Structure 1
């Protein structure tokens, strides 16, 4: 994205072609009808594409919740942040050197869009640690469980925080990207314990570590689904344990899956009440850290919004 003109970064972002932006995030349309591009919603889990982008108007509408707007509105919902925080993420994206390039008139072939892993190494890059800090994840915990992954997409090289699964694929995240490399699978961290903790995404697992086990050395086994759709595949592993603690998202898909799991037997326990007013465990952690910082600053007689 080139912000080197008279318009503000927010105005430039608002005018960015949304189809191209979604392509950079890893989302491609399932159907194109004239100016209308239809996607499985990036904002929630669904099986039938009901998220529409009108490319001529550069506006989106999600028919599930009945919400829509421009790219700024989408960015705020997608990253669950304020306008100011979105601007900070745009700054991180510039540092990551990941410009939004023009999406072709028709989708690329599967081979052209396939992510190719080029290098896997310990976390090193400052923008990635900055992103972890924004998500309130201590770098020492992230460094234990994650790698820095360099990958090729469409002939361009990028890098992201990588979380490996049991089949050799990676979940890839940075301030502007939410992708997965093939093969998609769940991640098992087996400690031989009688209990197992289950998380939908790896940032929730890292959040749990930040809250309860700051050393990063796990005491109990953990399974990260990496996608709610992998629950059934993971059941054979989960049900070898006496107690299965569920920390799934509190959106409709996550709550439906939790309710289904609990119905399977008493071993499944819903632990999401901890963050009942939040989307997921990481969202709660970010909110908790913010409130805690303000409390400490008030005790010290400082501006409540100052960084500690």
Structure 2
């Protein structure tokens, strides 16, 4: 697959195949939650007429290769993904496309992480396999009548956060995840890989602290419930605009909140810094 061929593939169908369903859709465009970050309101628009996207949150737009290169890391990875997952659907300009109701993620099996593709993915993210197995599961699920598998972290409402090399989504209901052992310190991260990174760096933290994973910045207000339950709340949030805003908000609100993110300053998040160090 070359770039010319890849640009003809429908962006909307590709995003759906990756597990990102449109939140809002009209005859001319579709709006998605950005695959590049956690957000509560859709900020990525796809033009059905031109088959191009624009992410208003980061000011990035372009064709399918531009989108997948940002998501997967390079043009080579984008072309590899499209070649390995050849869906044979090309883009055709159609003025009217009837919005379709997308199927929900349906979890069909959960088990110990063992698939080589998921182990390779953890290795790429520099995460300890044993630590991932102690907290996460290998989750098999269906989406739009097709079967997939991912690393999964269950939330307190029994939904799943699902991640693999090409997929970043979750099953309903969405909520925070908690790992509690009765400690007086709470460690807060935005995503599961930031939490797995901390434990891969120093697994003894589990003997000193409980863990809360937001799974979405839209759940940050739930931290208010834990201000009186813990003596110390350590924040390891992202260094993007949203993560910094949440950190500053809670630092000024309660004395027991502490920003612990300074050592990975210059990187978007903790796992990005960890991968670079390794």
Same fold (TM over 0.5): yes
Residue of structure 2 in register with 1:51 after alignment: 44
Looking at structure 2, the residues matched to 99 and 237 of structure 1 have their Cα atoms a distance apart, in angstroms, of 47
Residue of structure 1 in register with 2:213 after alignment: 224
CA spacing shift, 1:59–1:50, aligned 2, 3 Å? same
* Residue in structure 1 matching 2:156, options 159, 166, 170: 166
Secondary structure of the residue aligned to 1:15 is coil
Q: Is 1:147 aligned with 2:140?
A: no
Residue of structure 2 in register with 1:305 after alignment: none
Secondary structure of the residue aligned to 1:68 is strand
Q: Displacement, 1:113? A: 1.4
Residue of structure 2 in register with 1:28 after alignment: 21
Give per-residue Cα distances to partners, 1:61-104, cap 9 Å, x unaligned.
2234332112222123234x23345556x28x94xxx6658699
Contact 1:20 1:100 in 2 (8 A): no
Residue of structure 2 in register with 1:108 after alignment: 100
Looking at structure 1, the residues matched to 264 and 103 of structure 2 have their Cα atoms a distance apart, in angstroms, of 36
Contact 2:38 2:216 in 1 (8 A): no
Residue of structure 2 in register with 1:302 after alignment: none
CA RMSD of aligned residues (A): 2.6
Indicate the larger mover: 149-158 or 70-79.
70-79
Looking at structure 2, the residues matched to 155 and 269 of structure 1 have their Cα atoms a distance apart, in angstroms, of 45
* Residue in structure 1 matching 2:178, options 170, 177, 188: 188
CA spacing shift, 1:267–1:106, aligned 2, 3 Å? farther
Residue of structure 2 in register with 1:199 after alignment: 189
Residue of structure 2 in register with 1:83 after alignment: 75
Q: Displacement, 1:197? A: 0.6
Q: Displacement, 1:216? A: 8.6
Q: With structure 2 as the length reference, what TM-score do the two structures score?
A: 0.87
Contact 2:19 2:169 in 1 (8 A): yes
Aligned length, in residue pairs: 273
Residue of structure 2 in register with 1:175 after alignment: 165
Contact 1:37 1:55 in 2 (8 A): yes
Q: Which 5+ residue runs of structure 1 have no aligned equivalent? A: 1-6, 290-308
Secondary structure of the residue aligned to 1:158 is strand
Q: Displacement, 1:134? A: 1.2
Q: With structure 1 as the length reference, what TM-score do the two structures score?
A: 0.79
Contact 2:156 2:178 in 1 (8 A): yes
Structure with more relative contact order (C-alpha pairs < 8 Å, separation 6 or more)? 2
